A and B are shown apart, each in its own frame.
Chain A
Amino acid sequence: MRAKHLVWIRRTSQAVFLGLFLVLLVMSRLPEDVYLQYSVVFSSDADLRLDQPVTFFFQLDPLIWLSSLVSGHRLIHGFWWALGLLLVTLFLGRAFCGFICPLGTIHHIVGWVKPALKGDRMTKANQKTPGNRVKYFLLITLLVGAIIGLNIAGLIDPISLLFRSMALAVLPAAGIGLKETFDMMAASDIKVLNYLSYGGEALVSPVFGYGYPAYKTAWLIGLIFLVILFLNRIRPRFWCRILCPLGALLGIFSRFSILRLEKDHAKCTECSLCAKGCQGAASPMPSQAWENAECVLCFNCFDVCPEDALSFSFRWSPKLNKKPDMGRRAVLGGLVAGISLPLFARLDFSAHHVSDPRLIRPPGALPEEDFLRLCQRCGLCMKACPTNVINPTLAEAGMAGFWTPHLIMTQGYCEYTCTLCGSLCSTGAITEISAKEKLERPIKIGSAYIDRGRCLPWSGNGPCIVCQELCPTSPKAIYLRKEVVPSPTHAPMQVDVPYVDLKRCNGCGICENKCPVRGRPAIRVIAAGESRSIRNQILLTGSVS
């Protein structure tokens, strides 16, 4: 095959997979065109699901598969894809990094649009440095930590990182900017602008998830993403070379690769064009030994060599490729960090003692310890949630739970028959439940309580009881009693005041969400009473163990 073709095949493949990633990202929300047969809607509580395989890239990611296997002892759904990818890596090396990885492609594009350096300085920047070992350190830390019980692979797994950054920061930021423009046009008195606004919004709102969701503290996710992109100014694909734990994992597997870079020393004129174009700092020059574990198979060296001194070919050989250059320090450091981090994580006690009252997990979430062992913090549940209630945590779940999903009822609420998040969780940290299960077991995510000082009727400030109206259970978990309360004029006032029946409350939070007291509502939901936890119960019931 001609050299030119290989580079173009690589570029085409990158474009296709980046496109696929973005399409699946955009599709990770409930569509507007759901048409159910009357026979279906009349007969049962239908479960709305997404038709597209939006978890495909998570299933393809061997780091997600391995970390959830060793940490949560679970084979995730569709792990065959990840297994297949590892097999491919065994034969072809880090083809994933060069041909498929959407984050790698974005780095590649950034470096192509604005090359970090010029001339000799670029050649120098593309030499292997001890910094390349950092990724092995990170990989070992993550995997050892995962075995001991702290699974934070998702924080820097490239697929999780990219999905989280795009879904929670980049898309919402762009969407809200557009929405504000449309709202401004809609408020105008010029009819043409009104129509343009309606039309424009109908066109773009499907891309941004219809409701233009926004996520608490997502600015941090966006900032980190920008920093990671900016690192390409230091050297090309900085992330892939220095930091990516998935790249490190695939690099280790590439030891057995039969696709090898063949170097013809006789033809080489030491022009070093190959090194200048190298994306992985993989030492393509014939005077150096090829670092197959660093090579992302971009085929740039092969493409630029004016003397045809370089070629890629399939060759069986009993001799293995060069060992990945991990360095003893990276290995030992990784072991130490991997053992100590899980111990630090326990300092939070979050998994063992009473958790943060506002740590309300999505319906169907596993008990906290199991949940943390599986959650990849990819943000898919947050992206797909139709009410925008699921947000990333900061400190609520402790260090081990950074960026895991929790429900903020002032942002949204958990819709009574909605079970979408669990159907999408790629590792099963949120189990898939049906609406029937959610209602009948029932699955409680917390309990509501009333703040009588803020409540309008309780404080004598007039009738209200929006909370009771919206309570979705039957009979309602919020019930009313006529009480006489002192009004601001000191005259006794008879109003309906709300009470919560803890046995019926499932913690959905619609009461908190719609309470007219904004910011810190007069009725709030705390995690206590969540059915996934044996400890975090309020009432003495027969089934407590």
Chain B
Amino acid sequence: MDLNYPISRRESLKRIAQVSASLAGAALGISPLLSQSSGLASAASKRFVIEGIGAKDDYKVKELTRMVFEAAGGMGQFVSKGDIVAIKPNISWARRPDLAATTNPEVLEAVIELCLDAGAKKVRIADHTIHDARRCFALTGVGTVAKRTGAELIFPRSSLMKRMKLHGHRLDVWPVFVPLVEADKLLNVPVAKVHSVSTLTLGMKNWIGAVGGRRSALHQDIHQSIVDLARFFNPSLTLIDATRIMITNGPSGGSPSDVAAKHTLILSNNQVAADAKAAGLFGYDPGEIGFIRLGQKWGLGTYDPKKLIEQRMIL
């Protein structure tokens, strides 16, 4: 992939401004490194990464989910009363959730419950799946999540794809899945997997499932496309489901031997930081993954531990 493709001067000035602004913001954010959750709560605007690990044999995924949100100061820090919350899971494949091709439904259920407890008016689950959406929603258990929690399932439809200006470096105008844009708060709840084209698929890569159009052409410049989309969608929170991760044969998997149990959830208000943390689970340095490196370069966030509030919780 060519990182040095030409950009206009105006654009480069804009980028420099963005990068320096975010660096300045990060620099301010790091000074009081807080370890207490109450401190984090007040620092919700600062970049944090919380890693929750279920160490006990019989830990409950839902408890673990609640724990990482509590550590971040509670869902109330991010979701206000009366909000319409859109959740983007990764349920691209009509696969059993234990094959780790899709987001764990129990994580999703806990997140939705927390949103509703925080006073959200409506929670919507939307994904533009690869396999047939009806089969994906049914077989990944997400249909049941919606039924149990009262969340709304938004099926991909052509009338819900609208061409929008992305202002990306690679992607200019592209059809976007509207419900993910027209929401008060956007939460990204992907699953962590290896991916044959982008090495890993984590939070930022999940936005490829939030657009329509000729998605298969995005692979020709995958990392920049991912960063463009991540910048456009810019979620309030990213919660990476690494309870099970796919370690080989990604992103589709299909066999239990493709899966490793990590019992981990990674919550961050910064996409780059979340993905960088999750990359570690696969033994990668964040800089080795193209879209994480580019994400930091273009100012979407950082994986520099000095600029992040990091916390590790064990259940």
Contact = CB atoms under 8 A, between A and B. Distances in A.
B251 A469 contact: yes
Interface in A426-460: 456
B220 A42 contact: no
Interface string A35-67: 111100111111010000000000000000000
Contact of A474 (B132, B139, B253): B253
Interface string B133-164: 01101111101100100000101011110110
A333 interface: no
A417 interface: yes
Interface string B211-227: 00010110110100000
B228 interface: no
Interface residues of B, number: 47
Given A41-B97, A462-B220, A466-B219, A30 B249 contact: no
A443 to B, nearest CB: 15
Contact of A386 (B134, B140, B144): B134
Contacts of A34: 134, 137-138, 143
Interface in B58-97: 93-97
Contacts of A464: 216, 219-220
Given A32-B134, A32-B137, A41-B144, A475 B94 contact: no
A-side interface size class: 35 or more
B195 interface: yes
A465 B134 contact: no
A240 to B, nearest CB: 38
A406 interface: no
Contacts of B36: none
A470 B252 contact: yes
A211 B153 CA distance: 16
Contact of A469 (B137, B138, B219): B219
A415 interface: yes
B98 interface: yes
B159 A182 contact: yes
B105 interface: yes
Given A38-B144, A417-B95, A185 B159 contact: yes
A187 B219 contact: no
A78 interface: no
Interface in B201-237: 214, 216-217, 219-220, 222
Contacts of A480: 196
A532 interface: no
B144 A456 contact: no
Contacts of B1: 463
A36 B196 contact: no
Interface stretch (A3-11, A112-120, A127-135, A197-205): A197-205
A36 B144 contact: yes
B221 to A, nearest CB: 8
B98 A42 contact: yes
A325 to B, nearest CB: 52
Contacts of B157: 201, 205
A210 B130 contact: no
A464 B217 CA distance: 8
Interface string A167-185: 0000000000001001101
Given A30-B132, A35-B144, A476 B138 contact: no
A387 B132 contact: yes
A411 interface: no
Interface string A462-497: 111110111111111000100000000000000010
A416 B105 contact: no
A346 interface: no
A138 to B, nearest CB: 39
Nearest to A42: B98
Contacts of A38: 105-106, 141, 144
Interface string A189-210: 0000000011001000100001
B216 A417 contact: no
A30 B133 CA distance: 10
Contacts of B217: 516
Contact of B159 (A45, A198, A456, A476): A198
A132 B46 CA distance: 85
A32 B137 CA distance: 8
A516 B216 contact: yes
B143 A465 contact: no
Given A35-B144, A205-B157, A469-B197, A475 B249 contact: yes
Contact of B196 (A45, A183, A468): A468
B255 interface: yes
Contacts of A198: 159-160
The 7 nearest A-B residue pairs measured at CB: A474-B254, A34-B138, A186-B159, A474-B255, A386-B132, A41-B141, A466-B216
Interface of B: 1, 93-98, 105-106, 130-132, 134-135, 137-141, 143-144, 147, 153, 155, 157-160, 162-163, 195-197, 214, 216-217, 219-220, 222, 249, 251-255, 257-258
22 contacts: A30-B132, A31-B134, A32-B137, A32-B153, A38-B105, A41-B96, A41-B140, A41-B141, A43-B96, A48-B138, A183-B158, A186-B162, A187-B162, A198-B160, A210-B134, A462-B220, A464-B216, A464-B219, A468-B196, A470-B252, A516-B216, A516-B220
